Structure 1
Amino acid sequence: MDFLIYLLSAVTVQSALLAAVAWLCKGLVTHQLSKEMEAFKHQLQVEAARTNVIFAKLHERRAEVVAELYADMVDFEIAARKFTYLENEAAGTTQQFVEVMERALELQNFFNKHRIYFPEQLAVRIDTYQDELVEKLKELHSLSKFGRLPEELQGKLFTAWGSLIKHMNESLPLIKAELEASFRGLLGVHESDRADERADA
């Protein structure tokens, strides 16, 4: 009987020791995992902050590019309209044509360098607009640079002039509207916000 009591007490003590060791190991593992989890959470927070900074800078840069392209398009439009007006009055000069073409090239170069900031559909629309506009300007200039034209060429001149004006009037407002919407979107201003502001006024 003493042996049985001894055996039971030995098993009980060993079980208690094993339970204590298991509890201690579990506590150590849990503590270590908790420390690693905290370190991992901290690393995730650092990465999230870094990503937010990167996206904020890209967002800011995109807004700058959109605003600059818009301003360049307005400058180009003014120069092109001035040129077409002067051409229509038969007073356009080579110097004015050179100025318009320089603005066109500046606009095209700026856009090509920053094309990545624009959705593909808008980028294609801008490319098409610029290419067609430059061709129409060249055609108008080639017809008008000779001074007084024979009557049969005067019709072509006015057709070219009308085609250029029509192209600008149809295409440019759409592109500018898309750029405006893009810029407002970057600023967080949406059409519904603007409608609410107009309703409140």
Structure 2
Amino acid sequence: MSSDICNFILLGAISAATNALLLVVLGFLFRSLILHLLSKNIESYKAILEKELESFKIKLQHDKDREIEMLRKDLEMKALEHEIRFSKLHDRRAVIIAEFYAKFIEAYYSAGEFLNSIGYEGQPSKEKLGEKTYKQIREMDRYFNLNRLYFDEALCGKIGDVIEGIFDPTIKFILALQEEKETGGEHRAINEWIISLKAYQEKVPEIKRLIEDEFRKILGVKSS
């Protein structure tokens, strides 16, 4: 009886130990299975994330390239617009320079003819030459003032000097001739003519040369 009880207890203990061991093994296997499944899920999720990251990088690069291209086109368009405006401005300045220079040369030579003591056969009277020169100077001066924004301040100063250099001796000689005609003051007219001619010859040619040099620079023409 005692032996049977001992055997029963032993069998129970063995059974309990076996069940416990089985539970441990099953727990280990279940844990391994869970870890395996989790590992597979993590690898799968990692692959998905890497794929999404690569897609994002590609999209980001595409967006960056597109924005750079748009910026490049915008800059090219602005550069072209600036070039067109600058080209039109340069063309406009070239026209103004040509027209002003033509008026300037006409006034310059008319004043020279008016102030010169050496005449020629068929030459208009001094009064006629004076009127012609005065009119041309006024036209030149008006044209310059209407378009002076196309020239820098330094060039405007030189042009103003040359207009003054032509106008002052011309108008003084005109007034002296008028006084001579009205009062017979021939002596004053001769003196004024000498002073005016000297001022014209000394001042105007040098300023004329400086202005011509400036015009050539603006137009891109090399000086000799």
- TM-score tier, shorter chain, comes to 0.7 to 0.9
Give the stretch that moved more between structures: 123-132 or 34-43. 123-132
SS at match of 2:126: coil
1:86 Cα shift? 5.9
1:87-137 per-residue CA deviation (whole Å, 9 max, x = no partner) reads 999x522x3322211111100011111112222122112223323532332
Report the equivalent of 1:92: 126
Please say if residues 165 and 203 of structure 2, whose CA atoms lie closer than 8 Å, have aligned partners that are also in contact.
Answer: no
SS at match of 1:189: coil
Structure 2 counterpart of 1:111, which letter? F
Report the equivalent of 1:13: 44
Work out the percentage of aligned pairs sharing the same amino acid.
24
Matched, 1:41 2:41: no
Please say if residues 88 and 158 of structure 1, whose CA atoms lie closer than 8 Å, have aligned partners that are also in contact.
Answer: no
Match of residue 76, structure 1, among 87, 107, 127: 107
Specify every segment of 5 or more residues in structure 1 that has no aligned partner in the other structure, as ranges: 195-201
**Aligned equivalents of 1:29, 1:80: Cα separation in 2:** 74
Match of residue 59, structure 1, among 70, 80, 90: 90
Q: TM-score when scaled to structure 2?
A: 0.73
Specify every segment of 5 or more residues in structure 2 that has no aligned partner in the other structure, as ranges: 1-31
**Aligned equivalents of 1:171, 1:122: Cα separation in 2:** 16
Residues 104, 62 of structure 1: alpha-carbon distance in 2 compared, 3 angstrom cutoff: same
**Aligned equivalents of 1:46, 1:157: Cα separation in 2:** 64
Q: TM-score when scaled to structure 1?
A: 0.80
Match of residue 145, structure 2, among 112, 117, 125: 112
Structure 2 counterpart of 1:127, which letter? G
RMSD of equivalent CA atoms? 2.5
Count, aligned residues? 187
Matched, 1:26 2:57: yes
Please say if residues 83 and 97 of structure 1, whose CA atoms lie closer than 8 Å, have aligned partners that are also in contact.
Answer: yes
Residues 180, 38 of structure 1: alpha-carbon distance in 2 compared, 3 angstrom cutoff: same
1:161 Cα shift? 1.7
**Aligned equivalents of 2:96, 2:192: Cα separation in 1:** 32
**Aligned equivalents of 1:133, 1:189: Cα separation in 2:** 26
Residues 73, 85 of structure 1: alpha-carbon distance in 2 compared, 3 angstrom cutoff: same
